[in-house]
Amino acid sequence: MSEEYDARRIENKWQQYWEEHGSFAASDDRSKKKYYVLIEFPYPSGEGLHVGHPRSYTALDVVARKRRMEGYNVLFPIGWDAFGLPAENFAIKTGRHPREVTQQNIRRFRSQLKRLGFSFDWSREIDTTDPAYYKWTQWIFLKLWKKGLAYKSEMPINWCTSCNVGLANEEVVGGVCERCGGEVVRKVKSQWMLKITDYAERLLQDLETVDFLDQITMQQTNWIGRSTGAEVDFPVYSSGGKKHCMKIFTTRPDTLFGVTYMVLSPEHPLVAELLPACENAGEVRKYVERAANKSDFERTEVVKEVSGVEFRGITALNPATHQEVPVWIADYVLISYGTGAIMAVPGHDERDWRFASRYGLPIVEVISGGDVTREAFVDIDRGTLVNSGPLDGLPPDKAIGRMVEIVEAGGYGRASVQYRLRDWVFSRQRYWGEPIPMVKCPSCGWVPLPESQLPLVLPEVERYKTTDTGESPLVLIDDWVAVDCPQCKGPARRETDTMPQWAGSSWYFLRYTDPHNDAELASQKNLKYWMPVDWYNGGMEHTTLHLLYSRFWHKFLYDIGVVPSAEPYKKRTSHGLILGENGEKMSKSRGNVVNPDEMVDKYGADAFRLYEMFMGAFDQPIPWNTRGLNGMNRFIHRIWDVAEKVSPTAEESRELTTLVHQSIKKVTGDIESMKFNTAIAQLMTLSHALNRRDEVRREDMELFLLLCNPFAPHVCEELWERLGHDTPCAGEAWPQWDEKKVRVDTVTVVIQVNGKLRSRFDAPRDMPKEELEKNAREDAKVEQYISGKTIRKVIVVPNKLVNIVAS
């Protein structure tokens, strides 16, 4: 079969074969054991695929192919996360409909992916912009609304003053508009919100039930940001004698005796309530206004400069000490966390200390161990309570619990848990997204569209740009906006906001289990069989938001009986970014984008896939280096050459058999732990060993091909066929190693003298310690290092080394 290796011909042939035979279509036959392999579905951008995308796809394609060979019924689907800003911005610029542009991009992505030979089940392809798909995205929204988990609220958005457009957080770079460099300010808009905070505790707790990479679990935990402490009610009096209640949250109730002032956030409702009774209302009002006009950028960027204003004529009473303390307003206290108000303990909180120092407020020490005249003493693990009545003498951790008891007994507070996690801002004032299926009726308020009217299809518009008031272009289509109220049939208006890109991606993995179902988002039968996802891999950049949002939706769907498991993903891993050849992030603007098409044209898909997996540790970021593909090309040629040496007269070599079985073991384990680079290194070592022989046994070659198949499937199928098989190697069983054959007969034992390597000898495996020591002592080279010295100690590690300590 002497013939040149021709990547293009072979790859076309086998891709066509797989397509014609539906080789990788998942069967819904529930009698088989299943395995669901998931990659993050791509956003089909106008730039097309770049070499970063296939890193994750190749890795899980390797896993999927291995699982099939292990006898699993594998679901490895693909689809398009196709709503999103770039298509809309492109539409604004060119006037072309985002749908048209998106479909064109999808076609391009699809053909690019097909060339790489991934074993996707293409019959289950989904597209988030397809009304048949987003019908169910809207359906989930209605369910959320009915359970009280969707609500409208005034929220500040990023507003570009020169584009007159609302921006997503990721479009604000360094405080200015990413596209035009214009000033970005906060603008308050009424927004749909989803109450993810109701699920905070479960999203945190259930991390213990899944197998996520440690780093991912940690990031989720940090993002949820659980803190325990206490809520304490401080009575507040104005000069008129009227009593108000100021509720604060603190993680350090042990410092309650050190409170010297109180602080309200400028947005706190109590501010308006107290304003008429205070002596400097004008000053306070001015401060509140100034804080409101500050952008988030200003408010957080100028970290060191604290500011605030005292509420003169207002005092708060410390319920524990019955001491009067002043009340201030300062923008270092955030309305969005805790209760929007704090008790200030400048002796033991850095921010309070800074503020107290600036405004000359008293600083009281209630935990000894530091020097509160110089800085706040915040070390919770050291120190002793002082000046704190019943807490005196206690260490802080004990005092916290004690104080909570006192506060609860006194009836002015309670133990409390707070989360950093905020509710999810769910609406966008944009065109290219799922319409939110809600109607605003002047008499009934917000009314959901009946489920029978879904999908609510995105109407055609003439222009895609947002309006000058920052509303979505949909607001201009009068005959779409005007609608009868589903409840009272009176005139009403549709919601014109659309959903964020996160919506469609929060449940797409469910749709893959039953992608063409128009009665349910997916059948119970299929969900029960396929869910949860067994292995999900994606970018580190999605480990907080996307993962959290989709886990939230999944838990909600679980609560209403739609999905069978509380968690969507059993196992989640992440890959490192592929950088440009210059080591910078790959992007069109940097001009360092590498297109996989060119690589496949030149080297073929198999070489490309091998390089993606071989180039470095899978979880680390790594710069692309096209020259590395040469090595993969050589490797494939070597596989080809070895196949030509297969001969019925070839004899078994004990040494080679050992290497083959070692390779089976190594490759099997390395794929599971995503050490694809070392798996391929092992295969290269094996290829060299095979190639050194004049003739190769057929069974050795076959085992080698089966091991290579997940990485370089085209060439393996071709050679498999040339060896005379009429069924593909993708359908063969994954090889098993024999532990007895993995072990070598002869080992090299090294001899050290005082820890330095001096000599070595070969010995049969498991030679007794005494004999190893004897061999070492009699070694000629060792002689010169120990002659004339006293041997103090000899360390023998069987099958490894002998270390002689002499002086």
Partner RNA sequence: GCCGAAGUGGUGGAAUUGGUAGACGCGCUGGACUCAAAAUCCAGUGGGGGCAACCUCGUGCGAGUUCGAUUCUCGCCUUCGGCACCA
Tokens of 486: 């589903």
Stretch that binds RNA, among 44-52, 54-62, 80-88, 609-617 (CB under 7 A): 609-617
Q: Phi and psi of 766, rounded to 5°?
A: 65, 30
Q: Which stretch binds RNA (CB under 7 A): 57-65, 134-142, 489-497, 536-544?
A: 536-544
Per CB under 7 A, 713 contacts RNA? no
Q: How far is the CB of 595 from RNA (least distance, A)?
A: 19
For the chain, the C-alpha Rg in angstroms (whole number) is: 34
Is 627 among the residues that bind RNA (CB under 7 A)?
Answer: yes
CA dihedral 280, 281, 283, 288 (to 10 degrees): 140
Minimum CB separation of residue 494 from RNA in Å reads 34
CB of 351 to RNA, least distance (A): 5
Q: Do the beta carbons of residue 164 and residue 470 sit within 8 Å?
A: yes
Residue that is written with structure tokens 């997996």 in the block: 613
Decide whether 106 or 659 has the Cβ nearer to RNA.
659
Site for RNA in 199-218 (CB under 7 A): 215, 218
# of chain residues touching RNA (CB under 7 A): 82
Check residue 752 for interaction with RNA (CB under 7 A). yes
Interface with RNA includes 333 (CB under 7 A)?
yes
Whether 397 and 380 have beta carbons less than 8 Å apart is answered as: yes
Give least dist CB 799 to RNA, A.
Answer: 9
540 binds RNA, rule: CB under 7 A = yes
* Cis omega (within 30 of 0) for bond into 455: yes
Residues 511, 562: contact at Cβ < 8 Å? no
Q: Which of 180, 457, 791, 797 binds RNA (CB under 7 A)?
A: 797
**CA 735 → CA 675, 678, 697, distances in Å?**
18, 18, 16
Q: How far is the CB of 583 from RNA (least distance, A)?
A: 9
Q: Decide if 415 contacts 401 (C-beta within 8 A).
A: no
Task: Tell me how many helices (H) and strands (E) the chain has.
Answer: 26, 32
Nearer to RNA, 103 or 295 (CB): 295
Nearest one of 173, 160, 75, 72 to 119, comparing CA atoms: 75
CB of 600 to RNA, least distance (A): 15
- Regarding 711 and contact with RNA (CB under 7 A), the answer is no
| Contact range with RNA by CB under 7 A, out of 191-199, 455-463, 621-629, 643-651 | 621-629
- Can residue 265 be called a binding residue for RNA (CB under 7 A)? yes
Nearest residue (CB) to RNA, 307 versus 565: 307
CB contact at 8 A, 493 and 481: yes
Determine the interface stretch with RNA among 19-27, 186-194, 452-460, 790-798 (rule: CB under 7 A).
790-798
Q: Is 110 within 8 Å of 417 (Cβ atoms)?
A: no
Q: Using CA atoms, how far apart are residues 433 and 429, in angstroms rounded to an integer?
A: 9
Which of 142, 342, 531, 643 is close enough to bind RNA by CB under 7 A?
342
Q: Footprint of RNA on residues 665-704 (CB under 7 A)?
A: 675, 677-678, 680-681, 684-685, 687-688, 691
Cα 308 to chain centroid, rounded:
38
Among 118, 249, 328, 464, binds RNA (CB under 7 A): 249
**Smallest distance, Å, CB 104 to RNA?**
31
- Residue whose C-alpha is closest to residue 328's, from 345, 350, 311: 311
> Binding string to RNA for residues 543 to 572, with x set by CB under 7 A, is what?
-x----------------------------
Query: What's the token pair of residue 124?
Result: 């289950």
- Identity of the residue, 285 or 585, whose beta carbon is nearer to RNA in the bound complex: 585
Could you tell me which of 4, 62, 779, 128 has the C-alpha nearest to residue 511? 128
750 sits near RNA (criterion: CB under 7 A) = yes
The verdict on 139 binding RNA (CB under 7 A) reads no
- Closer residue to RNA (CB): 285 or 299: 299
**Pick 162 or 169: Cβ nearer RNA:** 169
φ, ψ at 100 (rounded to 5°):
-65, -45
Among residues 231, 254, 331, 612, the one that binds RNA under rule CB under 7 A: 331
Query: Smallest distance from the beta carbon of 717 to RNA, in angstroms?
Result: 21
Min dist CB 232 to RNA, Å, is 10
The string over 204-218, giving b where at least 16 C-beta atoms fall within 10 Å of a residue's C-beta and e elsewhere, is beebeebebbeebbe
Choosing from 633, 662, 709, 775, the residue that interacts with RNA (CB under 7 A) is 633
Selected binder of RNA within 617, 723, 742, 763 (CB under 7 A): 617
Pairs from 634-637 (Cβ < 8 Å, separation ≥ 24)? 635/607, 635/610, 635/680, 635/683, 635/684, 635/687, 636/5, 636/7, 636/604, 636/606, 636/607, 636/610, 636/712, 636/715, 637/5
Three-state SS across 499-530?
CCCCCHHHCHHHHCCCCCCCCCCCCHHHHHHH
Site for RNA in 298-327 (CB under 7 A): 299-300, 302-303, 306
Q: 494, 439 in Cβ contact below 8 A?
A: yes
In the complex with RNA, which residue's Cβ is closer, 571 or 637?
A: 637
Contact 331, 337 (CB under 8 A): no
The reply on whether position 175 binds RNA by CB under 7 A is: no
Backbone angles phi, psi at 235, to 5 degrees: -70, 140
Decide whether 132 or 622 has the Cβ nearer to RNA: 622
Q: Tell me whether residue 82 or residue 547 sits nearer to RNA (CB atom).
A: 547
Burial 598-612 (b: 16+ CB within 10 A, else e): ebbeebbbbbbbbbb
Is residue 332 within 8 A of residue 305, CB to CB? The reply is: no
Site pattern 756..785 for RNA (x: CB under 7 A): xxx-x--------------------x----
Q: How far is the CB of 210 from RNA (least distance, A)?
A: 18
Is residue 615 a contact residue for RNA (CB under 7 A)?
A: yes
Residues in 404-463 at the binding interface with RNA, rule: CB under 7 A:
418, 420
- Select the span of 152-160, 360-368, 724-732, 744-752 touching RNA (CB under 7 A): 744-752
Instruction: Count how many residues are written for the chain.
Output: 807
> 346 CB contacts (<8 Å, ≥6 apart)?
258, 260, 352, 353, 355, 356, 357, 361, 362, 363, 364, 372, 376
Nearest C-alpha neighbor of 248 from the set 339, 162, 312:
339
483 binds RNA (CB under 7 A): no
Segment interacting with RNA, rule: CB under 7 A, options 152-160, 334-342, 506-514, 723-731: 334-342
Preceding omega of 621 cis (within 30 degrees of 0): no
Residue 307 CA to residue 270 CA, distance in Å, equals 19
Among positions 92, 593, 622, 763, the unique one binding RNA when judged by CB under 7 A: 622
Smallest gap from residue 295 Cβ to RNA (A): 12
Q: Which of 567, 556, 528 is nearest to 212 (CA)?
A: 567
Tokens read off for 7: 């990547």
- Which residue in 57, 90, 614, 720 binds RNA (CB under 7 A)? 614
Q: What are phi and psi of 752, to 5 degrees?
A: -110, 150
Compute the distance between CA of residue 77 and CA of residue 473 in angstroms, rounded to an integer.
34
Annotate each residue in 638-657 with x if it binds RNA (CB under 7 A) or - if it does not, as one string.
x--x----------------
99 or 637: whose CB is closer to RNA?
637
User: Which span sits near RNA by CB under 7 A: 60-68, 336-344, 487-495, 717-725?
Assistant: 336-344
628 touching RNA, by CB under 7 A: yes
Name residues contacting RNA, limited to 588-607 (CB under 7 A). none
Q: Which stretch binds RNA (CB under 7 A): 110-118, 500-508, 627-635, 722-730?
A: 627-635
Binding mask 228-247 for RNA (x = CB under 7 A): -x------------------
Nearer to RNA, 241 or 755 (CB): 755
Helix, strand, coil share of the chain (percent; to 5): 40, 20, 40
